[in-house]
Amino acid sequence: MRITTHPEHHRFERIGWLRAAVLGANDGIVSTASLIVGVAAAQSSRSSVLVAGVAGLVAGAMSMSAGEYVSVSSQADTENADLARERQELATDPASELDELQTIYVDRGLTPALARQVAEQLMAHDALGAHARDELGISTEHAARPVQAAFASAGTFAVGAALPLIVAAAAPTSRIIVFVAVASLLCLALLGGIAARAGGANISRGALRVTFWGVVALGVTALIGRAFGTSV
């Protein structure tokens, strides 16, 4: 019997890199733009504003990279510990593991006889892979990758942070706050819309929610700069 297949692309496949990319770029824009606006609101010179922006870019990228690496490494450690325990159980009590896998398939709607047959065939092919996927929810495609996540977060943060920094460098000194705020909010709206579209969500809602928090961050830092400083 000939079996034909057609390629299917699911948005869930994008969730790993999409989350890291959106989080990094969003943080880069918001934190750096807010820092620039806060320093500029304190009546600082252009050089002080740019130095603060560059420092924020470098520090933020390193922080994002380290934070993402530690977070995803913890996830990877948990996955590896679960796999090691599952490997041990398969070696010492394969019969119970077969029963366990059968129960999972029965709970998903298969008859006990068919569930048993499926469990036996899958365990004969790749016992650990079957349990990792169906019992633990771990698959090769969605396994934790700390280094990849760290570089993705640092890179996207740096790209996002560079946008308000470039605007601050090009804008007239007296209009830095306005130029950076407008450019950053437009970029945030665009980023939110792109992320929503890639994830299959409502584009307007995605753009609005990220822009809202950008407005809040810029507003608060501008008020702090006005209230507490005249120079940096």
pLDDT for the residue numbered 142: 59
Q: Are 35 and 157 in contact (CB under 8 A)?
A: no
pLDDT, tens digit, for every residue of 37-74? Answer: 999 888 888 898 999 999 999 999 898 888 888 888 88
Amino acid at 31: S
Contact 33, 164 (CB under 8 A): yes
pLDDT of 162: 93
What confidence score (pLDDT) does residue 143 get?
A: 60
Confidence of residue 227 (pLDDT cuts 50, 70, 90): confident
Confidence of residue 12 (pLDDT cuts 50, 70, 90): very low
For residue 17, what pLDDT is reported?
Answer: 56
Helix, strand or coil, per DSSP, at residue 100 = helix
126 pLDDT exceeds 90?
Answer: no
What is the pLDDT averaged over residues 172-194? Answer: 89
The percent of residues in the chain predicted with pLDDT above 90, rounded, is 19
97 vs 140: which has the higher pLDDT: 97
User: Average per-residue pLDDT in the chain?
Assistant: 82
> Would the pLDDT of 4 be above 60?
no
pLDDT of residue 11: 47
162 vs 146 pLDDT, higher one? 162
pLDDT of residue 163: 92
Listed in sequence order, the residues at least 6 apart from 114 whose beta carbon sits closer than 8 Å to its beta carbon are: 105
Write down the residue that tokens 């079957």 correspond to: 130
Residue 179: strand, helix, or coil: helix
What pLDDT, on a 0 to 100 scale, did the predictor assign at position 153?
82
The two most distant CA atoms of the chain are separated, in Å, by 80
CA distances from 160 to 20, 87, 136, 175 (A): 13, 43, 36, 21
- Report pLDDT for 29: 92
H or E, element range at 12: none
Question: Would you say 90 and 128 are in contact if contact means Cβ atoms under 8 Å apart?
Answer: yes
Judged against a pLDDT cut of 80, whether residue 218 lies above it is answered with yes
In tens, the pLDDT along 85-112 reads: 888 888 888 888 888 888 888 888 889 8
Domain boundaries, the chain: 16-226
- Highest average pLDDT, of 17-26, 51-60, 201-210, comes from 51-60
Average pLDDT over residues 146-150: 80
